[in-house]
Amino acid sequence: MFIKALKAHRPGCRSPSDLVFPSGIPRASRLKVDAKRVGVAYKDEQGRFADFHVLRYTWATFMRKNGIADTFAMKQMHHQSIRQTDEYTDAVQLPIYDSIKNLPRLGGVHKYAHRFLAQTVKT
C-alpha cells in the first residue's frame, strides 16, 4: 500500500534517475502526516510502521530478490554483517521454492524410496 501510494504521487514527467525524495528523506513525523493524508495507516494490523525503515526493508528485499551479492547489499545498507542485512529482508518475498525445485538431483533416488512409493500406491 505504501509503495502504491508513493508511485501514485510520482510526477508523470519523471526520469528513472530522479530521487524519490529530492530534499532528503523526511522525518518520521512528516511521513506520518503524509501517510494519513493519502489514506495509508502509519501502523498496520501486524504492527509494522510506514516510515523510512519501510524503504530500507523494501530496498534490502529488492536487492536479495534480484540476486545482488551479499557484500554489495551489505555495503548498500551500511551494515557490518550480512546477518544485519538479512534482518531487513522479507524472506517471504524471496523465490526460495523456485530456487530449491531447480536444484539438480544429487545421487539419484533414495535407496528406500521404492518402499515408500509401494506403500503409497497400495493405500
The whole domain housing 77 covers: 2-10+20-122
Asked if pLDDT for residue 122 goes beyond 50, the answer is: no
Asked if pLDDT for residue 82 goes beyond 70, the answer is: yes
Q: Residue 80's closest CA among 47, 14, 88, 120?
A: 88
User: In this predicted structure, what is the pLDDT of residue 68?
Assistant: 92
Q: What is d(CA 96, CA 106) in angstroms, rounded to the nearest whole number?
A: 18
* pTM (predicted TM-score): 0.53
User: In this predicted structure, what is the pLDDT of residue 112?
Assistant: 56
What DSSP line would sit under 54-67, residue for residue?
HHHHHHHHHHHHTT
Q: What is d(CA 15, CA 94) in angstroms, rounded to the nearest whole number?
A: 28
Does residue 86 fall inside a structural domain? yes
Cell of 109: 533416488
Residue 3 neighbours by CB under 8 Å, 6+ apart: 58
Does residue 66 fall inside a structural domain? yes
Q: How many CB atoms lie within 10 A of CB 91?
A: 9
Q: Give the burial string for 39-58 (b: 16+ CB within 10 Å, else e).
A: ebebeeeeeebbbeebbbeb
Does residue 15 fall inside a structural domain? no
Does residue 45 fall inside a structural domain? yes
Asked if pLDDT for residue 21 goes beyond 50, the answer is: yes
The whole-number average pLDDT for the span 43-47 is 85
